[in-house]
Amino acid sequence: NNKPAQGKHYVVGTDTTFAPFEFRSESGEMVGIDMDLLRAVAKDQGFSVEIRSLGFDAAVQALQSKQVDAVMAGMSITDARKKVFDFSDAYYDSGVQFAAPKASSVAKLEDLRGKRVAVKTGTAGADYADSVKGQYGFTTVAFSQTADMVNDVTAGSSAAYVDDYPVVAYSIQQGAPMKLVGDKAPAGSYGVAVNKGTDPELIEAFNQGLANLRANGQYDQILAKYLGAQG
């Protein structure tokens, strides 16, 4: 069978506000690079999807408790996660990034000493912040949504936040009054996850569909739609 998931239906968990990968359009529809890629792959491979906007950590937990079949949420493929999940081929190279208000005196990670940094529960960014907080002398506070991290920084309660580089860069490009602090740190490319040993046909279908979209130009079109020419 050259379309291994043909006729199947999958429930896919995703993040809530993680533009440009998943966010709500003005009409309330889930849009973004992940959402468009998923729908295009599903169409190419003849399967259907129901998307659930849960939040990153909640989506991962929903997968582990089998309330969803897969997660597509800008999820970094990491060695630790590969012990419990099977991942598709990578579809986007990412990294993690600190950001602070444009007007703030924080210009480099050394300036975070004694300050508080907002992180997102269960993410590669949170792991990275934890791995350098001793060195730079800051504390962390965890939130479940990107929007809550940004609000905490805007309110002045945290001096900076950590999120995926393309998400921070996109928000600044869209006019958020933030600036990048420190260098982008590597955090693994994004893949679609299923529970280990389950749904190999979904992984296979996603990989085939992704290869088709890369070959027929749709992959580039979707990236360009959200990122412009630099996509």
Q: Give me the residues that bind ligand GLN (CB under 6 A), please.
A: 15, 18, 56, 73-76, 94, 120, 123-124, 164
Pairing of strands 48-53, 95-101: unpaired
Residue 188 CA to residue 48 CA, distance in Å, equals 28
Phi first, then psi, for residue 134 (nearest 5°) are -65, -45
CB of 16 to ligand GLN, least distance (A): 9
Of 4 and 191, nearer to ligand GLN (C-beta) is: 191
Among all chains, which residue has been given the structure tokens 């190999």? 200
CB of 29 to ligand GLN, least distance (A): 18
**Counting beta carbons within 10 angstroms of the beta carbon of residue 180, is it exposed (0 to 12), middle (13 to 18) or buried (19 or more)?**
middle
- Minimum separation from the CB atom of position 75 to ligand GLN (A): 4
Pick the closer one to ligand GLN by CB: 44 or 87.
Answer: 87
The H-or-E segment that residue 12 falls in is: strand 9-14
Closest CB to ligand GLN among residues 5, 118: 118
- Tell me whether residue 63 or residue 124 sits nearer to ligand GLN (CB atom): 124
CB of 156 to ligand GLN, least distance (A): 23
CA-CA-CA-CA dihedral for 123, 202, 207, 33, to nearest 10: -50
CB of 60 to ligand GLN, least distance (A): 8
The torsion defined by the Cα of 13, 15, 18 and 21, in degrees rounded to 10, comes to -10
> Based on CB atoms, which residue is closest to ligand GLN, 15 or 148?
15
By beta-carbon proximity to ligand GLN, the closer residue of 8 and 120 is: 120
Using DSSP bridges, classify how beta strands 139-143 and 193-195 pair: parallel, antiparallel or unpaired. unpaired
Structure tokens at 227: 């990122």
Least spacing, CB of residue 105 vs ligand GLN, in Å: 27
